[in-house]
Structure 1
């Protein structure tokens, strides 16, 4: 079994990827959400990172990374809805995918802050 097949066995989630298209309605340009990819096998990984600053309080944030097939084209700034382990969450793509021969990694941002 090659490295790519091994990684694909860890994909325990599925994703829907949405892009935004510009359309004109009544002379007004608007962005409209369009489903680009459905049922993309993937995995979400969470990394909690603690940083310190000059102040007394440190900041903690969570980095969320989507792992999926490297052949799938996911444009930057896409909306990505991921279902994994019975939980569905919606993210915005905060950057350009990092593509490797075995997989791609996309850093995601939460759409809502708690």
Structure 2
């Protein structure tokens, strides 16, 4: 049963995501097992948020500005390290990789992401 808190959170989630991983999988025709991209979850409701982080340079140079990208979604989904997340929100689709251990909360989880470059 979904709690009232979770329903309230989901009202803010305006995105959807697909989770893919590089795993050994058997080809149904040849029955040969080889590494390939496998979809773990599809069309999960989520919310992508961006936070600009600024830190002063210790060398007296310009301040370093970084961006933290965080994905909020249901805590019932296991998102393995090193997987690819394809997130669509506000008609924009981007590919990300999971960079950190998820923060698990009572009704959701939050995962810090990086732009996807390649599988680890």
Aligning the two structures, in what range does the TM-score lie when normalised by the shorter sequence?
Answer: 0.7 to 0.9
**Structure 1 equivalent of residue 98 of structure 2:** 93
Partner of 2:12: 10
- Secondary structure at the residue paired with 2:8? helix
Would you say how many aligned residue pairs link Structure 1 and Structure 2? 108
Identify which of 64, 76, 82 aligns with 1:71.
76
TM-score normalised by length of structure 1: 0.86
Alignment match, 1:33: 37
Structure 1 residues 40 and 58, CA gap change in structure 2 (3 angstroms): same
Q: Could you list the runs of 5+ residues in structure 1 that have no partner in the other structure?
A: 24-29
Unaligned runs of 5+ in 2: 26-33
* RMSD between aligned residues: 2.0
> What is the SS of the residue equivalent to 2:6?
helix
Q: Does 2:85 correspond to 1:83?
A: no
**Equivalent in the alignment of 1:27:** none
- Where do 4+ consecutive residues of structure 1 move more than 4 Å? none
TM-score normalised according to structure 2 size: 0.82
Higher strand share: 1
Deviations along 1:58-96, whole A, 9 cap, x unmatched?
110110000000111111211000000000000011022
